[in-house]
Amino acid sequence: KAVLLSPGIDYRGIVTDGAAGKLNDSQKVLVVAAKGDTYSAESSQKLFEIIGSLKSEFVLYGENDHGTNIWNTHPELIEKIVCFMT
């Protein structure tokens, strides 16, 4: 399992969409972003579509937060991540 927190399709030369398409059925991914972080929100939607809803879950919050700053606005995300990983 993996958690993608405010991911990008291409972050400083690390391209993620190719790897996302190679996951097998036993590999699950939680994708989390905020709408106001437009690059991450758009990248997250694309990654979710590539991975597929049977292997992933997508959470999109309405604020402008990025990365761990999402926890400041949505502390329940920490519990969601823990539950997802167990």
User: Would you say residue 4 has pLDDT above 90?
Assistant: yes
User: What backbone torsions phi and psi does residue 21 show, to the nearest 5 degrees?
Assistant: -75, -10
Give the pLDDT mean for 47-56: 91
Summarize pLDDT for 53-68 with one digit per residue, the tens.
Answer: 888 999 999 988 888 8
User: Would you say residue 42 has pLDDT above 90?
Assistant: yes
Report the residue count for the chain.
86
Whether residue 16 contacts residue 8, with contact meaning beta carbons closer than 8 Å, is answered with yes
